[in-house]
Structure 1
Amino acid sequence: MTKDIVNAFLYAALARSLWTELEARYGESDGPLVYKIRWEINSITQGNFSVIAYYTNLKQYWDELVCLKPPAMCSCGQCVCDSNKAKREEIEEDHLMQFLMGLSEPYDNIRSQILVLDPLPSVNKAYSMILRVERQRRVNMEYVDVNENSAMLAKGQDYRNNVGQRGLMKTRGFTDKRNVTCDYCNKTGHGRYTCFKLHGVPDWYKDLNERSY
């Protein structure tokens, strides 16, 4: 302790008074750290994190804040108003609201359902409810992925089958007439050399129609 400080407290009557005043004047304040933690709590959101990671991160800040600034609780043991219980419930509700406010958009429905419950659940209960929703979402997403992969495989197989059929037709000398257009009558399915409108209907085609009837 420097001489200047000693002179300032030279006439202190009690040691307790001396240390109390010293702490008030020169003790380090937890104010900046408390401010930082409260700012983090109010700013933190789930974002792309899982519910577990988001809740764990938030709870760490809650625990740090309690260590730095414990809630004022009655310790006389004679209170009949149950003020400590009311204080704990107030803290619990604050934690619940902070947790729900930071959740991502996919949890809007379950958040709304929790907020209309009476009484409100504890933050741990709400966390458990939302965790079940997250697990169900993962199952649904995996199911969608499987269906999409199956559809892609089926399309790929159909494409390979079509390519194979066209290749087989070319190998055997067949032509896919669906892609042929007659330059005389402008109809598809045949070419100029087999156009009935240009050359007339052949006898074999007439016989074929008569047999079909």
Structure 2
Amino acid sequence: MAWTGAGIRPPPGIPLVAASLTSTNVVNEAPFDPNDTASPFFLHSSENPSLILVSAVLDGRNYHPWSSAMEMALLSKNKLGFVDGTIEVPSVADVKFPYWKRCNNMVSTWITRSVSPEIAQTILWLGTAARIWNTLKARFSVADIFRVFDLQAEIHQIRQGDLSVSGYLAKLNVLWDELQVIRPLPTCKCANKCNCGLLDTLQKHMDCDNLSVFLRGLNESYSSVQSQIMMMKPLPTVDEAFMMVQQQETRLNGGIIGLQSPHSTEGLGAGSVFLAQTSGNNSGSKKFYSNGNKKPVCTFCGFTRHTVEKCYKKHGYPPGWKPRTKSGGAINQMQLNTT
């Protein structure tokens, strides 16, 4: 809506009725202030031509989500009137003209920077921001049957796969929203609105279709919760079903993390515990440890306190070596047998 300076209170002493009769003159005679933050002609210091309003640029196939994002961005900056035609072009002699021209160029630059380079070349010389906006709308907003068919096919073929439940639903919502914008539900345009509830019935059918698509695309690990949801009367909405599936996802992820925890050995047998303890050792070093004393055992001679790499019996005794007493060997042999 165009900014007209409305909301000015009448001067003291003028009755309210008289003020209402002369409200048009008061609005027309209101002084123009470009520094008024409520005016669409006001530009903040942070608003510059290099500003990018939306993250996804227009490439010709995403007009409807792009236009919705641009409308929200322009409305938040109080500049939507420059593209929807509510702010008319003032005359050259009007005091508002230089400010309108500056804001128009700013909005035109924002639009140009939010489209692909190929499209930007075709709208660069159109002049006003409203003309650029209407040209893009006429080119890319046509809801052809092929785009509707592609959206429906993609909606019914999408599967969760490696996505999380929230990521899977977000991907579906993008397709559903675009299809709703291109082909919205019919509404009653009669002067006297009917009370048959046809629109509510159509909305309920669409919600049921969306719920079935969401449940069918889930992974096999959610088959139990799928059956529970489909047996509920009445059927829940997509958001309610999402909360139930997300709880199941949390349980599944918690169970997997518990089994994969390196510090958890509950539910494992003795052989599994031993395998878990020995699997982290270096298999190529030929070094083995007993469970009790954690001393190395030579795989060549069978004695403890040394490994095969330092076995004298295999590699030769060093000069001046003296054999141990028999008691020491017996003790070592006894340790080996015990192990």
TM-score bracket relative to the smaller structure: 0.5 to 0.7
- Residue 133 of structure 1: aligned partner: 248
CA distance 1:104–1:154, shift in 2 (3 Å): closer
Q: Tell me how large the CA RMSD over aligned residues is.
A: 3.0
1:33 aligned onto 2:164 = no
In structure 2, distance between residues paired with 1:100 and 1:58: 11
Structure 1 residue runs without a partner (length 5+)? 1-26, 180-213
Supply the AA of the counterpart residue of 1:160: Y
* 1:87 aligned residue (191, 202, 205): 202
* TM-score normalised by the chain length of structure 2: 0.40
- Residue 170 of structure 1: aligned partner: 304
- Residue 225 of structure 2: aligned partner: 110
- 2:295/2:304 contact within 8 Å kept: no
CA distance 1:132–1:126, shift in 2 (3 Å): same
Once the two structures are superposed, residues 67-125 of structure 1 have per-residue CA deviations (whole angstroms, 9 ceiling, x without a partner) of 11112232435212111111111110010001001000000000000000000000110
* 2:166 aligned residue (36, 47, 52): 52
Q: What percentage of aligned pairs have identical amino acids? A: 27
Supply the AA of the counterpart residue of 1:94: D
- 2:143/2:183 contact within 8 Å kept: no
In structure 1, distance between residues paired with 2:184 and 2:274: 58
Which structure would you say has the larger RCO, counting Cα contacts within 8 Å and 6 or more residues apart? 1
Mark the structure with the bigger radius of gyration: 1
- 1:46/1:54 contact within 8 Å kept: yes
Supply the AA of the counterpart residue of 1:123: V
1:120 aligned onto 2:224 = no
1:66 aligned onto 2:180 = yes
CA distance 1:178–1:75, shift in 2 (3 Å): same
Segments ≥4 residues shifted beyond 4 Å: 147-154
Matched position secondary structure for 1:61: helix
1:160 aligned onto 2:289 = yes
- 2:187/2:199 contact within 8 Å kept: yes
In structure 2, distance between residues paired with 1:97 and 1:45: 12
In structure 2, distance between residues paired with 1:160 and 1:131: 46
In structure 2, distance between residues paired with 1:134 and 1:124: 15
Counting matched residue pairs gives: 153
